[in-house]
Amino acid sequence: MSSAGIKVDSREVEHALDKLAADVSAMPATWQAVGDALLPGVRQRTPVRSGALRDSWQAEGLADRTAIGSELPYAGVVEAINAPIAETLDASERTITATIEDEIAREAARIGFEVRR
């Protein structure tokens, strides 16, 4: 009687995990998607006089985070007083988490890991 088995090369597994970690640590497209998903909430929470600030908010996906800001000189003051960005972040934790989880799963599947949810 012979027994069947699975041979696992630990170097291949280690290489695949290193690749996944490298891919996941630099996810500007994911962070851009997170920022884009947050912009409507930021705009909705922005106090409006002329609408210039509300319409000027922009998101930028960086390697490890999302940057949301405006080039208007008074944007920082409005954020400090009314906190449209901070309030949106607090209210959007599930959206942020789901977007990041989806990207990690997509990257893992792309390099051959089976992804189960």
In a domain, 21, yes or no: no
Whether the CB-CB separation of 19 and 113 falls below 8 Å is answered with no
Helix 75-82 with 84-91: angle, nearest 10 deg: 50
59 within a domain of the structure (yes/no):
yes
Global pTM?
0.71
Per-residue pLDDT of the chain (117 residues; tens, 9 = 90+): 455 555 656 777 677 777 766 665 668 888 898 999 999 999 999 999 999 999 999 999 998 889 999 999 999 999 999 999 999 999 998 888 888 888 888 877 887 777 777
In a domain, 15, yes or no: no
Q: Which residues contact 66 (CB under 8 A, 6 or more apart)?
A: 31, 32, 34, 35, 38, 59, 60
Q: Give the structural domain span for 102.
A: 27-110
Q: Number of structural domains, the chain?
A: 1
- Exposure class string for 7-20: b at 16+ Cβ within 10 A, else e: eeeeeeeeeeeeeb
Assigned domain for 3 exists: no
